[in-house]
Structure 1
Amino acid sequence: MKFKAIFIILGLILFLASCQAKTDKNKSVLSQNESLQINSTDIELFKSLIQFISDPSFNSLSNGGLIIETGKLFLQTPYVGGTLDNNEIEKIRINLHQLDCTTYLENVLALSILSNKASISIDNFSNQLKYIRYRNGKLNDYTSRLHYFTDWIFNNEEKGLLLDVTKKIGGQPYDKTINFMSLHTSSYPALVNDSSLIETIIQTEKTINDRKHYYIPEDKIQQLENQIEDGDLIAITTKINGLDVSHTGIAIHLNKRLHLMHASSKAKKVIISDIPLADMILKNHLQSGIIVARVQLKQQISN
């Protein structure tokens, strides 16, 4: 497949999108779905992306291959954090020209699932994104978003979209009390604006803490990396008190070593790590290991 040409074209599109966004950032375009927020910049980018993912060559890829090639379409996309938290009212926010590590995975997963559909529209993309991003696929309010990534993995595994393979490939128990959001409510504008939401967050944390979690410790990653497949979703666990995961990305092997394709806050864009994932985590004193989730793309949703 001639993906090199695709990347050049998309790179130009992303550059133009970033320029247009500076003058168009306040213009919101609603589809038939009133809970959807997307601007004209992202509508044009979406149209370009679906031309690529609708190509028959994409449909012939394995699950992991499809995640990899869809993920590569976003290489060099600028990293911007907090793009989902710009509204007082929780909406399905589509932003394809600015990504953080979680929205990167959500967009890649949603597009990969839709690549097998005969028709792809803004509305069915937003429905798929909602299904991935919110607990049980239902958008109720800020607390229905899957904020903690272990909860994100658990709920999307229940939906049939993922399989947490961490324990199977040699993971160890990840025993940690998760309560970062309830202990740092001032860091979350939605909780500052509506303190009644805090109790729901506390209950969500209790539910998360009642589950058993597994991770691969940082010093075990290299010896187990051959059991991690291209296209697996990687959640990097953290030593920060109360927090489960601090970063996410997509597994990709280069020169027989496991690397990470991710929206990097350090590089300020989507990149493939220049060093193996195991080395990257060992160099970061706040990161402790990884959780591995394998995508199950045969699961489809319609609403």
Structure 2
Amino acid sequence: MMLASRTDGPGEVGAVAGDPEPTERDDDADAGCRVLRRARVIHRRLAVLCVCGLVACGGDSQGSSESERSNGSSTVSEPAASPPSSPSVTDGNAGSLAGDPGPGPTTLPGTDADWALVAEKVLWAVDQGYAELDIGDLIARIGETFVGTPYAPYTLEAPGDEALVIELEELDCVTFVENVLALARFVHMAPDNLTTTARPRSSDDQRAGNRGAGNGSDANTGDPQRALFSGILQDIRYRGGVLGEYPSRLHYFSEWISDNDGMGLMRDLSRELGGVVDDEPIDFMTTHSDAYRQLGEDPSFLTELQQVEARLNAEPRYFVPEDRIASVAEQIQDGDIIAATSTVEGLDIAHTGIALWRNGRLHLLHAPLVDGVVGISEVPLAERILRMGGQDGVMVARPTKVR
């Protein structure tokens, strides 16, 4: 497989085929956490091109005992309140040295433990008074409570028909962003009776509520807290908020951003940050259809995704090249969504995370493959992207206030 190049005027911005091996390697062998999570064979090919996570990227997921709140171009350091405990790391979640992202989740979706985490984190945010924060600051604070949560690929690839998956015990880079955004919106949207009393239910109540829940969706359980969270997450994860068949999921993260922008859930800042047009065509899923179970099971899904790709390729999308990130960093705020653009041919996004200011520098709060747990980048975002083979810039989106 060849690495696609991007150009901005006369100068090369991204990596090109034949470049020497970089000193730092991409920590997301699944190349987008969503689009490549079924492509084990493709991962091994990418490993040869230094896109796979064969070694840890400088220990790039170290946490900290302090939280930083963005205040214009400066940051205010304050002690972090004790967050809800995150699950412990389990063996086998960091991926293999062959570039394979690992065996997949070790926990089932939609369990008592997942819903207990929803209730626990909502209650913690409310108890800390964080419900009064702006949406970006709230996202950053909730996101930090997931530090140490295990990474797992394939978390949305449940057997059977497409269904809303609720999984918070293990996360990939996309589901981490989705769940944190959904939790923050829940805290701002929910009436008091669903937040101030959002205590984990008894085992008997949980078992009753789980009956008929399918792959983690609780639309039919009659539990208003679960129904509201499920609805928020569905709006974020599916095109137009409508859960249909497999193609209705927002597989390409650049479309995830544009769709959520269109839904009024966030605003794409990439162009106004001085972004340039990314003119590389998107077609990875349909040109590697044998890597996706659902595309093999129903040929009509392939046709639908080809139509999605054609529509995406007909619309301009903007990204901030890697050599310009440092110059616009002060315009990025806590809680902004960061999507690292990919140099892999046919693929738009390689990795995702949440912007987080620490000690006056912009870092990335994310779920990386190699480190195996949610963490905070050891180096600032701009430096991190420059180090990464297979990444050549970022898209940036700012979640909007809940109306």
Q: TM-score range by the shorter chain?
A: 0.7 to 0.9
1:230 matches 2:334: yes
By how many angstroms is 1:79 displaced? 0.5
Q: Structure 1's 2 and 87: CA in aligned 2 closer, same or farther, altered over 3 A?
A: farther
Structure showing the higher helix proportion among its residues:
1
Rg comparison, structure with higher value: 2
- The correspondence of residues 98-113 of structure 1 with structure 2, limited to 5 A, is 98-113=170-185
Hey, what does 1:128 align to over in structure 2?
A: 232
Hey, what does 2:141 align to over in structure 1?
A: 69
- The correspondence of residues 181-200 of structure 1 with structure 2, limited to 5 A, is 181-200=285-304
Hey, what does 2:358 align to over in structure 1?
A: 254
By how many angstroms is 1:25 displaced? 4.2
Code of the aligned partner of 2:246: Y
Deviations 1:60-104 (A, max 9, x none): 212221110011111111010111012221111000010001100
Deviations 1:30-74 (A, max 9, x none): xxxxxxx61122122222122113336111212221110011111
The answer as to whether partners of 1:171 and 1:214 remain within 8 angstroms in 2 is yes
The answer as to whether partners of 1:10 and 1:73 remain within 8 angstroms in 2 is yes
Distance (whole Å) between structure 2 residues aligned to residue 227 and residue 288 of structure 1: 19
**Which has the larger displacement, 184-193 or 236-245?**
184-193
Code of the aligned partner of 1:43: W
- The correspondence of residues 208-287 of structure 1 with structure 2, limited to 5 A, is 208-287=312-391
Hey, what does 1:5 align to over in structure 2?
A: 82
Q: Structure 1's 265 and 17: CA in aligned 2 closer, same or farther, altered over 3 A?
A: closer
Aligned-residue CA RMSD in angstroms? 1.9
Hey, what does 1:33 align to over in structure 2?
A: none
Code of the aligned partner of 1:280: R
Code of the aligned partner of 1:295: P
The answer as to whether partners of 1:17 and 1:41 remain within 8 angstroms in 2 is no
Higher relative contact order (CA 8 A, sep 6+): 2
By how many angstroms is 1:16 displaced? 9.8
SS in 1 for 2:162: coil
Distance (whole Å) between structure 2 residues aligned to residue 256 and residue 81 of structure 1: 32
1:46 matches 2:46: no
SS in 2 for 1:54: helix
Distance (whole Å) between structure 2 residues aligned to residue 92 and residue 260 of structure 1: 27
Hey, what does 2:251 align to over in structure 1?
A: 147
Hey, what does 2:88 align to over in structure 1?
A: 15
The answer as to whether partners of 1:249 and 1:263 remain within 8 angstroms in 2 is yes
TM-score of the pair, normalised by structure 1: 0.88
Distance (whole Å) between structure 1 residues aligned to residue 89 and residue 289 of structure 2: 37
Deviations 1:187-237 (A, max 9, x none): 111112222210000000011111111111011111111111111100000
Code of the aligned partner of 1:279: E
Deviations 1:244-267 (A, max 9, x none): 001000111222221100011111
Code of the aligned partner of 2:156: L
Q: Structure 1's 228 and 25: CA in aligned 2 closer, same or farther, altered over 3 A?
A: closer
Deviations 1:166-194 (A, max 9, x none): 11121111111000000011111111222
Code of the aligned partner of 1:42: D
The answer as to whether partners of 1:111 and 1:125 remain within 8 angstroms in 2 is yes
Distance (whole Å) between structure 2 residues aligned to residue 45 and residue 60 of structure 1: 21
